[in-house]
Amino acid sequence: MTQTCSRIEAVFRERGPKGQLAFMPFIAAGDPDLPRTADLLKALAGAGADLIELGFPYSDPIADGPVIQASYTRALAQKTTVDGIFEMVGSLKEESMPPLVAMVSYAIIFRHGTDRFIEQASQAGFSGFIVPDLPSEEASELAPQMQAAGLDLIQLLAPTTTAQRTESIVAHSSGFIYCIAVSGTTGERDQVAGELIEQLKSLKQKTKTPLAVGFGIGKPEHLDPLRGVADGAIVGSAIVKHLQLLSDGGKSFEETLQEIEAFARSMAEAAHRE
């Protein structure tokens, strides 16, 4: 029996044979508010994003640096809710959108109700979840539930992840594995660490699941070392920092949107270079 390819897997299958990287920008839902989050999602799609990671604001985010923490704080100040996010994403169903991936704490899923969260996410149009604080034992239960709903469960793998934990992540991840480029929190860095390249090469020997790299990816030149060892690049802080300027009153939303779209286009073009 042939297993159906998910929307996320289809992206990597299209880019990989061409020697290209899939480009996945990140923004937080509700920053500056949900209607303008919808505008940002459409702009990122138009700029060439292959997938888009949408963060569910959380008061105690795991591993996020100050730029994304501040974005979550602004979103929470707007009274952003889980139901509101699903409603906003659902309103984009008629748009030509790439696969949307929810970055969401397991605490949010659990509090909302796992079955309800999965059902609403599927109906809204999400293609998968990244759950940064998901324990191994919970992953073995959540993965089949999500698979039954047509969603991928994506897990994070850090440079410090133990061999046993790596085996569990490889076993229960689908869509792609989120490989953290450096130890520490999210944020821009000057270069890609050599240790990451070695880790990616090792992982390639253990799994056929695509590998996407995040944390510290913020410039087109960061992508070149990833070619041949990774399948995708995730960019967060370099985009979200534009929304900080908007919050500070230094830019209008129209200017901010144009700048984010131009930056995203430059990253997509670099990612798609053959």
What pTM did the predictor assign?
0.93
Nearest CA among 22, 47, 8, 11 for reference residue 242? 47
Provide long-range contacts, Cβ within 8 A and 24+ apart, for 104-111: 104/55, 104/56, 104/58, 104/129, 104/130, 104/131, 105/56, 105/58, 105/60, 105/61, 105/62, 105/131, 105/132, 105/133, 106/131, 106/133, 106/134, 106/135, 106/138, 107/58, 107/133, 108/56, 108/58, 108/82
Query: In this predicted structure, what is the pLDDT of residue 52?
Result: 98
User: What whole-number distance in Å separates Cα of residue 127 and Cα of residue 262?
Assistant: 25
Query: In this predicted structure, what is the pLDDT of residue 203?
Result: 92
Is 185 within 8 Å of 214 (Cβ atoms)? no
Name the residues annotated as catalytic.
53, 64
**Residue 157, phi then psi, degrees to nearest 5:** -125, 120
* Each residue's pLDDT tens digit, 6-30: 999 999 999 999 999 999 999 999 9
User: What whole-number distance in Å separates Cα of residue 116 and Cα of residue 11?
Assistant: 27
* Each residue's pLDDT tens digit, 50-70: 999 999 999 886 667 789 999
Query: In this predicted structure, what is the pLDDT of residue 189?
Result: 45
**pLDDT per 10-residue tile (average), the chain, 274 residues:** 76 95 98 97 98 94 80 96 98 94 95 97 97 83 92 90 88 92 51 73 92 90 91 94 87 95 97 94
